[in-house]
Chain A
Amino acid sequence: MNVKPEIDRIDVEAVNSKEKRSLYAARVKVFPKRVSGTFRTLKWWVTALTLAVYYITPWLRWDRGDFAPDQAVLVDMANRRFYFFFIQIWPQEFYYIAGLLVMAGIGLFLVTSTVGRAWCGYACPQTVWVDFFLVIERWVEGDRNARIKLDTAAWTGDKIVKRISKHALWVLIAISTGGAWIFYFADAPTLMINLVTGKAPFVAYSTIAILTATTYIFAGFMREQVCTYMCPWPRVQGAMLDEDSLVVTYNDWRGEPRSRHRKKAIAAGQTTGDCVDCNACVAVCPMGIDIRDGNQLECITCALCIDACNGVMEKLGTPKSLISYTTLRDFNENASGRPTPTTWRSFIRPRTFIYIAFWAAIGFAMLFVLLNRDRMGINVLHDRNPIFVQLADGSIRNGYTVKILNMELRPRSFRIDLKGLEGATMVMAGSDVAPSRQISLDVPADKLRIIQVYVTASRAQMKGETTPFKLIATDIEGGETAVYDAAFKGPDK
């Protein structure tokens, strides 16, 4: 029998394992060890990408002409507009954002039911920023053992220097994180100048202060506690996972019985599994758990234990994937000795199909609505005080507040036509145009214009107390129309 080389055992405890998770005990610090491997590389890429998207997006420019800001992504609270590249959204179109949130929700369900907590392990800001902070921590204080040593060491000059530099760098990252956030809400270059010269509004500084504090505290100190105690998603995800979802799994059917002194055990005639109990998987875990205890609430499936274990297995010359992304079905089949390899087919099942169908349906519906949406609108509010006015010749006049929306980024001319209520005429308050059945008006780019319109009809034209009619707004140039069903009120005859 091939005797495998011995692997040094790392002295580490899974501080957040089930037995040690007392609610009244103080938190025990986790010192994740550095690891490299496939998933760590993937995580670096995702981290770099998400951080880049976050920091760079507000600085992208997008030309929208003279009547709108040229920032590609901008939430303009003051003017109540949201800009996203070629899309511009008014507050009443907020359902697009709601739709995106629903899509994001269903997307999370889909991802979780297929590849488990991939969001938590790779893309969640908490994970990304903790990773970012850990890079700094390792760079300043060294890897796991050095950090543990430093943590328990007396306050020497060296320790003070290291701690101060670490926290200073953390605060810098935190400030730039909080600082980047506000650039989404105002013209980034202008705001940057104002920030530096102290001319930015107070809310800008307070937002930076709050987000700096949360970043610094969440990523620097609270770390895994945010996931375990604050985040509701781990609880929800239990319902999203099923036996076909990929989860980070310790294949105990292969690893057990674990053996630290393999040679001796073999010599003593004992059976041994592939696990050499080196604790590498525990040492790299940012959540402070032991994956060999099985699936746990704390596990964010960052897959670092897979990388750690694969490294050891490689050194030993044993097959990899003692810890791997495995479905519960595979695990059970393997454990009962009837292995069937996982194929892409396990992703196609009613559950994922329904998620994809919902997700795509909402996406396509929104896209369709977006491409066909109105870029103008008419809104009519009937005067209530007085409801109607009798004129000298006995005819009845009604007043309306008419709102014309020009949602395009250029000034437009509109025509309002009166339809129904034959013989009635209308006039715009403040205008000297003679009463007719048509009103022409200009609306500035990306603006709402509110006008007062008076409609006059003789009693003979009215059908009782209320007579319905239509006000039709038409874009004179483009021909786009919007219709409002209005009512003409008069005395009860």
Chain B
Amino acid sequence: MAQVPEGGGDGGGKGKKRAKKGNTHIDMTPMVDLAFLLLTFFILTTTMYKPSSLQMTYPVPPDPNDPAPPPTQLSNAITLLLTKNDQIFYYMGEFRAEATEKGPPTTLERTDFSKVQKLLVENNKQTIAQLNDLARQYNEKKIDEDQYNEKRKAIKGDKNNLKAIIKTDEEAKYRNMIDMVDEMDISGIGSYGVLDKLKPEEQALLDAEKAKL
């Protein structure tokens, strides 16, 4: 393709011989071939490998000598029980094995990963509205980044917001737990915990529900 004329120097034979005028044309075809071969190879073999990471902070196990911390307010909590086949069971508020003055005994509701986001968002509307409002202010440059992060933290950490307790049974997969933690981020739930032990009463209820599947 790229013919480079050779020896264009002195065509006529007369006169004294001059040193050839430097005709520095080199046939670059093989070099270009090679360059493009390598280029193609690298472009085709490169896969964008992009792992990312999720920063997790687990609570430090309490010292047995320390006094027990005050019980957490659970009336605004949702407890999500993850189990086999990507199933989720949940209940709101505190666990009540029997009817008390606060309400009837706890029953489990069933959901799955396609519906849980809607559930969480609906229960956490107010916080999400606040977060969206804050994001809008930030986008309109009414507040700077530090203020934004600070306020965002304050909104998410509000004690009266929806809390979540994620519990996994023996058959839940690691993927389920990561997905659930992801959902927490999406639905603006700032305080959540992950546990891998169920209370015996919860386990009994869960087993009964699983048997119905």
**Do A and B truly interact?**
no
Q: Please list the residues of chain B having a beta carbon within 8 angstroms of any beta carbon in chain A.
A: none
Q: Please list the residues of chain A having a beta carbon within 8 angstroms of any beta carbon in chain B.
A: none
